[in-house]
Amino acid sequence: MADIDVARLRQEYQGPHELVTTSDGKTLFVRRWNAKTEAPVSILIFHGITGYSSPYGPLIADQLSASGFDVFALDLRGHGMSDGKRGDFPSHERLVKDLTETITLVKSKSKKLVIMGHSLGAFVAVLAINNCREEIQGLVLASAAKRIRTGVYAKPSAGAALKALLGVAILRGTPVFEVRRKGQLGLDDPLFTFRYSARAYTVFYGAGALKVMGMTRSGIIDSPHVRFDRKLQFPLMVVVGDQDELFSTDAVKEFCDSIDCDDKEFHVIPGAKHAVFPKDAWTPLVTWLGKKF
At 56, which helix (H) or strand (E)?
helix 56-56
Other beta carbons less than 10 A from residue 231's beta carbon: 9
pLDDT-based confidence at 1, cuts 50/70/90? Answer: very low
Q: How far is CA 214 from CA 208, 209, 210, 211, in A?
A: 10, 9, 6, 5
Query: Does residue 187 surpass a pLDDT of 60?
Result: yes
Q: Is residue 188 part of a domain?
A: no
Query: Does residue 164 surpass a pLDDT of 70?
Result: no
Q: Which of 251, 206, 246 is nearest to 225 (CA)?
A: 206
Q: Is residue 80 part of a domain?
A: yes
Q: What is the model's pLDDT at position 159?
A: 62
Tally of structural domains, the chain: 1
> Which residues are CB-contacts of 154 (< 8 A; sequence separation ≥ 6)?
180
Average pLDDT over residues 126-155: 89
195-196 vs 177-178, strand pairing mode: antiparallel
> Which residues are CB-contacts of 231 (< 8 A; sequence separation ≥ 6)?
260, 261
Specify burial of residue 11 (Cβ count, 10 A radius: 0-12, 13-18, 19+): exposed
Average pLDDT over residues 89-109: 96
Q: Is residue 65 part of a domain?
A: yes
Q: What is the model's pLDDT at position 163?
A: 60
Q: What is the model's pLDDT at position 219?
A: 82
Q: Is residue 184 part of a domain?
A: no
Q: Is residue 185 part of a domain?
A: no
Range of lowest pLDDT (19-33, 158-172, 213-227, 265-279): 158-172
Q: Is residue 182 part of a domain?
A: no
Q: What is the model's pLDDT at position 206?
A: 86
Cβ-count burial 154-177 (b if 16+ within 10 Å, e if not): eebeeeeeebbeebbeeebebbbb
- Its domain, for residue 80, covers 6-152+223-292
Q: Is residue 210 part of a domain?
A: no
Asked whether 229 and 238 are in contact (CB, 8 A), the reply is: no
Q: Which of 234, 227, 226, 164 is nearest to 199 (CA)?
A: 164
Segment 16-74, tens digit of pLDDT: 999 999 999 999 999 999 999 989 999 999 999 999 999 999 999 999 999 999 999 99
Determine the Cα–Cα distance for residues 272 and 249; give it in Å rounded to an integer: 11
Q: What is the model's pLDDT at position 217?
A: 75
> Which residues are CB-contacts of 242 (< 8 A; sequence separation ≥ 6)?
249, 268, 269, 270, 271, 272
The letter for the amino acid at 122 is: A
Nearest 5°: the CA angle 79, 113, 63 is: 70
The letter for the amino acid at 237 is: M
Q: Is residue 213 part of a domain?
A: no
Determine the Cα–Cα distance for residues 136 and 204; give it in Å rounded to an integer: 21
Determine the Cα–Cα distance for residues 74 and 19; give it in Å rounded to an integer: 10
Average pLDDT over residues 261-288: 96
pLDDT-based confidence at 275, cuts 50/70/90? Answer: very high
Asked whether 127 and 225 are in contact (CB, 8 A), the reply is: yes
pLDDT-based confidence at 160, cuts 50/70/90? Answer: low
Q: What is the model's pLDDT at position 184?
A: 75
Average pLDDT over residues 215-228: 85
Determine the Cα–Cα distance for residues 83 and 5; give it in Å rounded to an integer: 9
Q: Any idea what the CATH number is for the domain that residue 104 is in?
A: 3.40.50.1820
At 11, which helix (H) or strand (E)?
helix 6-12
